[in-house]
């Protein structure tokens, strides 16, 4: 036990429950000083995008309010993380620094340098796993190598020692005799300069309480039917927990524990399927840790010579939801409005960009990075490389999603398209995913004129598929 203060460096762990770093600081004894340092320049070239900044602003406010209820406060600073921590250590007389680990390549390098520097200064420094069920270095093949296929990876995780149950929030936090100066959260400039985020505000409740409520609603209303409903974008069949997980407002251990103890009768299969999706998140972090080059380069080296196209007009049409393929356009508009997109639709729009348009996966990854509230470097990278066929356990090169059949299968009555592409709202379900095939009388009744009220398809899918297969054929033999 110590009476000297400790710093707890909050990053992507913006919660009080199941926060190993916070628990360790409280256990050490003495005052606890929560700190958040805004240093986006240290994350280049993957500094957080606009949607992430918006979420972070709300989440920091929520964390600050939670700390105040514990008679504590969040100290906010900007600048170099190492220099800021050293300044705070000097100002407060703190002798220890605690944080929960992150796994992005640039952040890992930074954190290791900070840990070494502070320990050389004579400080006690400790980091913890607060973001994953299993550390990336703890799940390896029998040969001691990282996994590159999901199924054996997840099988190994399930066979491993179960993660511990989540930690309770501290009952109280000892305060220092005097608090160091803090900037306001508003001073970080995370809120948009103009109000483009209205749809995000309506759709989400950032913060630990919002995350807990989202999990509760999912367990009560959707987990029993998750296996079948998760692919239906028009219904609330998924958890929508991804942004809360990314910002650490909820931990995977909390999700696992809650599902284990609060499942409705008959929900077991849905629970197993959902936990496998959580496993995919673990796998994505596993890959990012062991293959850090994948944030910019394909894991499969043969794809370095893939004949990608450069088509700025097509890229803009995709970004704006103006491709002429309703399920694609609905997804891109949902993304722009809410900062989120249904996972099934993410696969469809990613396939369309990389295979119908042959535009590099990196362009899609960067657009998602700026517009998603759950923009996570591990998940984003793995998802795009999987769809493009150039990553670990990737989709076969010949799997090219047909945007019409995908719409008809997973949005059969067109409810999702009607919500996000309202100009097609009067079309019968038979035609809503392929308006160019609708009889002229039907189009007239629906007040739709292709090329005016809704765009014609920017590519013919059959032709685009043939072109993509030809392009993939050029590297098939070297895979």
- Contact 417/424 with Cβ under 8 angstroms? yes
343 catalytic? Reply is: yes
- Contact 3/29 with Cβ under 8 angstroms? yes
Give pLDDT, residue 477. Answer: 60
- Contact 318/348 with Cβ under 8 angstroms? no
Give pLDDT, residue 45. Answer: 84
Mean pLDDT of 384-408: 90
Residues 6+ apart with CB under 8 A from 206: 55, 58, 59, 62, 243, 244, 247, 249
Give pLDDT, residue 264. Answer: 53
436 catalytic? Reply is: no
Where are the CATH 1.10.579.10 domain residues in the chain? 301-476
Q: Please tell me the distance from the alpha carbon of residue 262 to that of residue 95, in angstroms, as a whole number.
A: 41
Q: Please tell me the distance from the alpha carbon of residue 43 to that of residue 106, in angstroms, as a whole number.
A: 6
Higher pLDDT, 283 or 399: 283
Q: Which of 277, 297, 408, 436 is catalytic?
A: 277
Q: Please tell me the distance from the alpha carbon of residue 206 to that of residue 467, in angstroms, as a whole number.
A: 43
Mean pLDDT of 171-197: 92
Give pLDDT, residue 196. Answer: 76
The structure tokens listed for 278 are 């959580």
154 catalytic? Reply is: no
- At CB < 8 A and 24+ separation, what contacts does 321-325 make? 321/420, 321/421, 322/455, 322/458, 323/352, 323/455, 323/457, 323/458, 324/436, 324/450, 324/454, 324/455, 324/456, 324/457, 324/458, 325/352, 325/403, 325/404, 325/407, 325/457, 325/461
Give pLDDT, residue 260. Answer: 80
Give pLDDT, residue 92. Answer: 98
Q: Which of 91, 126, 179, 343 is catalytic?
A: 343
Crossing angle for the helix pair 105-120 and 81-92, to the nearest 10 degrees:
30
The structure tokens listed for 169 are 């929030």
Q: Tell me: the pLDDT tens digits for 313-322? A: 999 999 999 9
Round the average pLDDT of the chain to a whole number and report it: 94
Alpha-carbon Rg for the chain, nearest whole angstrom, is 24
Residues 6+ apart with CB under 8 A from 404: 325, 327, 433, 434, 461
99 catalytic? Reply is: no
Mean pLDDT of 244-250: 98
Please list the residues that pair with 124 across neighbouring strands: 96
Mean pLDDT of 414-428: 98
Answer whether residue 182 shows pLDDT above 70: yes
Give pLDDT, residue 262. Answer: 61
Q: Which of 95, 183, 308, 436 is catalytic?
A: 308
Mean pLDDT of 367-372: 97
Q: Please tell me the distance from the alpha carbon of residue 385 to that of residue 150, in angstroms, as a whole number.
A: 14
Q: Looking at the domain that runs over 301-476, which CATH code has it been given?
A: 1.10.579.10
Match 């460096």 to its residue by tokens. 9
Where are the CATH 3.40.50.620 domain residues in the chain? 6-130
Count Cα atoms within 13 angstroms, Cβ side, for 228: 3
- Contact 455/322 with Cβ under 8 angstroms? yes
Q: Please tell me the distance from the alpha carbon of residue 401 to that of residue 351, in angstroms, as a whole number.
A: 6
pLDDT band at 396 (very low <50, low <70, confident <90, very high): confident
What are the backbone angles phi and psi of residue 63, rounded to the nearest 5°?
Answer: -65, -45
Per cent of the chain over pLDDT 70 is 97
Q: Tell me: the pLDDT tens digits for 3-50? A: 899 999 999 999 999 999 999 999 999 999 999 999 999 988 899 999
| C-alpha triplet 38, 39, 43: angle, nearest 5° | 130
Q: Tell me: the pLDDT tens digits for 204-220? A: 999 999 999 999 999 98
Q: Tell me: the pLDDT tens digits for 447-459? A: 999 999 999 999 9
- At CB < 8 A and 24+ separation, what contacts does 182-185 make? 182/73, 182/74, 182/75, 182/76, 182/77, 183/76, 183/77, 183/78, 184/76, 185/57, 185/60, 185/61, 185/64, 185/76
Q: Tell me: the pLDDT tens digits for 137-154? A: 999 999 999 999 999 999
pLDDT band at 263 (very low <50, low <70, confident <90, very high): low
Q: Topology of domain 6-130, per CATH?
A: Rossmann fold (3.40.50)
Q: Which of 99, 336, 369, 384 is catalytic?
A: 384
- At CB < 8 A and 24+ separation, what contacts does 453-457 make? 453/423, 454/324, 454/421, 454/423, 454/424, 455/317, 455/322, 455/323, 455/324, 456/324, 457/323, 457/324, 457/325
Q: Which of 361, 367, 386, 431 is catalytic?
A: 361
Give pLDDT, residue 193. Answer: 73
Per cent of the chain over pLDDT 90 is 88
pLDDT band at 266 (very low <50, low <70, confident <90, very high): low
The matching CATH number, chosen from 1.25.40.80, 3.40.50.300, 3.30.720.210, 1.10.3720.10, for 132-166+206-290 is 1.25.40.80
Q: Which of 280, 297, 408, 436 is catalytic?
A: 280
Higher pLDDT, 4 or 264: 4
* Total residues belonging to the chain: 479
């Amino acid at each position: 036990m110590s009476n000297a203060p400790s710093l707890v460096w909050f990053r992507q762990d913006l919660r009080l429950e199941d926060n190993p770093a916070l628990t360790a600081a409280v256990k050490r004894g003495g005052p606890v000083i929560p700190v958040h340092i805004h240093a986006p320049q240290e994350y280049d070239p993957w500094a957080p995008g606009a949607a992430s900044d918006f979420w972070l602003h709300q989440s920091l406010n929520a964390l600050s309010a939670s700390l105040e209820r514990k008679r504590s406060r969040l100290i906010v600073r900007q600048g170099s993380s190492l220099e800021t921590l050293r300044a705070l250590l000097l100002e407060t007389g703190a002798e220890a620094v605690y944080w929960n680990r992150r796994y992005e390549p640039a952040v890992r390098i930074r954190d290791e340098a900070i840990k070494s520097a502070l320990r050389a200064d004579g400080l006690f420094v400790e980091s913890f796993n607060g973001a994953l069920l299993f550390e990336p270095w703890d799940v390896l093949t029998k040969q001691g190598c990282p996994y590159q296929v999901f199924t054996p990876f997840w099988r190994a995780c399930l066979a491993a020692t179960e993660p511990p149950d989540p930690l309770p929030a501290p009952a109280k936090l000892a305060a220092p005799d005097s608090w160091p100066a803090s900037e306001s959260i508003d001073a970080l400039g995370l809120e948009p300069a103009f109000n483009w985020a209205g749809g995000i505000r309506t759709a989400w409740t950032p913060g630990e309480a919002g995350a807990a409520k989202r999990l509760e609603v999912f367990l009560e209303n959707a987990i029993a039917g998750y296996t079948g409903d998760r692919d239906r974008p028009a219904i609330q069949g998924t958890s929508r927990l991804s942004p809360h997980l990314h910002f650490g407002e909820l931990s995977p251990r909390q999700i696992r524990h809650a599902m284990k103890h609060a499942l409705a009768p008959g929900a077991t299969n849905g629970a197993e399927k959902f936990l496998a999706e959580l496993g995919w998140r673990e796998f994505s972090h596993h890959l990012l840790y062991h293959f850090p080059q994948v944030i910019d380069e394909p894991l499969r080296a043969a794809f370095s010579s893939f004949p990608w196209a450069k088509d700025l007009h097509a890229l803009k049409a995709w970004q704006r939801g103006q491709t002429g393929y309703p399920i694609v356009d609905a997804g891109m508009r949902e993304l722009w409005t809410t900062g989120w997109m249904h996972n099934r639709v993410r696969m469809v729009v990613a396939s369309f960009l990389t295979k119908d348009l042959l535009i590099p996966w990196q362009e899609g990854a960067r657009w998602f990075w700026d517009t998603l509230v759950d923009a996570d470097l591990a998940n984003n990278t793995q998802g795009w490389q999987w769809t493009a066929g150039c990553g670990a356990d990737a989709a076969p090169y010949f799997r090219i999603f047909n945007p019409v059949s995908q719409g008809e299968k997973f949005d059969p009555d067109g409810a999702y398209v009607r919500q996000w592409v309202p100009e097609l709202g009067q079309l019968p379900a038979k035609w809503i995913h392929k308006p160019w095939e609708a009889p002229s009388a039907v189009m007239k009744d629906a007040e739709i004129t292709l090329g005016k009220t809704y765009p014609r398809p920017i590519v013919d899918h059959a032709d685009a598929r043939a072109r993509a297969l030809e392009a993939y054929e050029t590297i098939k033999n070297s895979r």
